[in-house]
Amino acid sequence: MSINLRAYPSGTDQRFTLLILTAGAQAWIVGGWYSTFLPYSFLRQNESYAALSFSACIFILAYIAYLTHPALTIRLEQLKQMNAEHLLHIKQLIDHLATTVGCTQPIVMISSNFNRQSAKVFGTRNRKYLKIDAGLVIVYARAPEKFAAIILHELEHIKNRDIFKGYYARCLFWTSLIIVLPMIIYRGMSFALKFVEFYPGIMVHFNAGNYVWFMEWHVLNIPPFLFNVAPFVFIQTVLLVEYCAILRSREHYADWGASTQGAKAALINMFESGNRFKNKKKFTLFRNHPDAMARADFVHNPGRRAFEISGLDAFLNAYIFYTLMEIALLMADLIPSKTGSRLSDLAAGGIAQNSFLLAAPILLAAMVYATLNWSRMIQKFSAGEWLRQASWSSTLKRFIYLCWASSLGVFAGELFWPERIIGNPDLDDLKDSIFDALVFLPGIIISAYFVFITTRFGIARSEGKKPPRSLFIIGHVVGWLGSNIGLSMGMGFKEDQDVDAVFMSWGIPFVRAMALGMLEAVVAILLMLLLLKLLLRKRHKVSPEAIAPAWLILESGNDGIQDVT
């Protein structure tokens, strides 16, 4: 028996969600910058339309590129459909393995490359292709168990829907890069040209021996150049990290899936033999393929590796959530400038208000999507700690580490927000930015804490073969309530006079409103825990001797694959 990794969202799904949200946030920001080149009379009434249209164009262009990849792959690699009679038994074996895995039977294509012994899947929707190198046909004759293991791995990609995630992520990354690169070059060159224009006069001071003034000039003028390109370079780097993480994660889950079909021994043998001829690289952040020993370790210990949540995961989740919140706040700032302080006037506000009403639900959906992804990550971490039967001290250390990484993500979202640093901020501005981030930070940490506790409380009472949906849903609700408590605390610490004035205009002191809101959230969390206990009353409490609840257990196949070859 082994842990069922599909009980929780895979690392591939989580990172793909982050990639989509990050690409959308970047497109929205860059769309706002590109819209400054539009006529002012048009822009003044269509801020939201410009950013929304630009974001939609990036996703549509990436999807069009994704749809064209099968034809391009077949043409560039000169693939031909496998129709030869002497290869018919290979096609029959592949169809049999596809039935065993439970995926769509692919159209088998073969290349004339005898130097490679690999395979890959590609395609769109229900038309999936499996490419086999000619060298792999030789492997079938010499080592059929190795051939079957490779094919099972590729078929698991089809079952896990990795083709869309991998190829669309690639298209989205390159589309975003092509779109954002002109903005980086434009903003960088605008400062570089000014630098070249003034540099002869600067050299006069240098030649005159005024070295202190020369150094001070560089210290004062180089940071604005970096501030103008840093936000776009940083968010594109985040996209690259997420894209590479998707590719690595999907290989691990395909290996695990193939191992559950009986290919474990063959896969480990290939990984261990292949690792002897490769130098192990320590820096794997930008690698699009995991090294052989990491893949072997995942197959050996899938439960431990799949439930691990790294500091990078926490950093990226917090960063993109904070960036989306900044976009939402930027959109909210448009309301007073267009309609005054009455939200009821939006319906009669004309084109600008209609564009806001169109963009607001999309932004809200993106923030909900990011919140759910954050909650799922913490639930997965909590389940992993429970399965590991770790001591509370070691669990607390790992939880603090995730909170620390999340804090860095929030600060990164604040410091690399273009609206914040485009005006060449000084130390006071950076200090204000840190305090702004501190308002949001308690919401992230307290939300994570309550989701963690709720999952630990529920998973020990969730015996049964069906996954407890009530545990997942209530975990999301508790996370949202916890974030409200944290945000109330953060706003109370900041003591914003504008916020106080708004609450006083409603006739409620802010401190009293904050305290009542926190008390209501705490009571609601307690009620959610009581509801969870009632919903799980038909399930037995998991025995201390049990590895995990039945819905987390997967019956493994044999280590050999002679039965399918």
* pLDDT tens column, 374-433: 999 999 999 999 888 888 899 999 999 999 999 999 888 887 776 554 555 556 666 777
Predicted confidence at residue 530, as pLDDT, reads: 92
Distance of CA 550 to the CA centre of its chain: 29
Nearest to 320 by CA among 105, 28, 2, 3: 28
Task: Decide if pLDDT at 487 tops 90.
Answer: no
State yes or no: pLDDT of 42 exceeds 90.
no
What is the C-alpha separation between 227 and 232, in angstroms, rounded?
10
The SS3 of residue 149 is: helix
CA distances for 491 relative to 178, 394, 425, 477, 497, angstroms: 39, 32, 23, 21, 10
| 549 C-beta neighbours (distance < 10 Å), count | 26
- pLDDT 10s digits, 224-245: 666 677 778 888 899 999 999 9
Q: Would you state the pLDDT for residue 559?
A: 42
Instruction: Provide the percentage of residues in the chain whose pLDDT is more than 90.
Output: 34
Strand partners, 124: 127
Which of these, 16, 23, 58, 51, lies nearest to 36 by C-alpha position?
51
291: left (phi over 0), alpha (psi -120 to 50) or beta: beta
Residue closest to 299 by CA, chosen among 267, 336, 329, 342: 267
pLDDT for residue 449: 94
Domain 84-159 annotated CATH 3.30.2010.10:
yes
| Contacts for 558 with CB less than 8 Å, ≥ 6 apart | 262
CA neighbor of 30 nearest in space, from 355, 414, 354, 323: 323
Give me the pLDDT at residue 555, please.
60
Across 417-489, the runs of DSSP E, i.e. the strands, are: none
Average pLDDT along the chain = 81
In the block, tokens 């690409």 appear at: 23
| Tokens describing residue 35 | 């819209």
Alpha-carbon distance of 91 to 300, in angstroms, equals 30
- The answer on pLDDT for 29 being more than 50 is yes
| Residue 57 to residues 23, 28, 61, Cα–Cα distance (Å) | 12, 11, 6
pLDDT of residue 325: 81
Quick one: tokens of 104?
């769509």
* pLDDT of amino acid 1: 55
Could you say which DSSP state residue 209 is in?
T
Q: What is the pLDDT of residues 47-98, one digit of tens each?
A: 667 777 888 889 999 999 999 999 999 999 999 988 767 678 898 999 999 9
* Ranges 112-126, 158-172, 352-366, 497-511: which has the least confidence: 497-511
Phi, psi of 257 (to 5 degrees): -60, -40
Residues 256-273: tens digit of each pLDDT: 999 988 899 999 998 888
Helix (H) or strand (E) holding 178: helix 162-207
Contact 237, 412 (CB under 8 A): no
Cα distance between residue 105 and residue 489, in whole Å: 55
Residue 203 has a pLDDT of 76
**pLDDT value at 184 more than 80:** no
Structure tokens at 451: 């989701």
Q: How many residues does the chain have?
A: 565
Q: Which of 40-44, 248-252, 266-270 has the lowest mean pLDDT?
A: 40-44
Cβ–Cβ < 8 Å for 104, 139: no
Give me the pLDDT at residue 241, please. 93
Structure tokens, 526? 């307690």
Long-range pairs, 279-282, Cβ under 8 A, ≥24: none
pLDDT band at residue 174 using 50, 70 and 90 as cut-offs: very high
Parts of the chain belonging to CATH 3.30.2010.10: 84-159
Cβ atoms of residues 128 and 107 within 8 Å: yes
The two structure tokens encoding residue 407: 């804090």
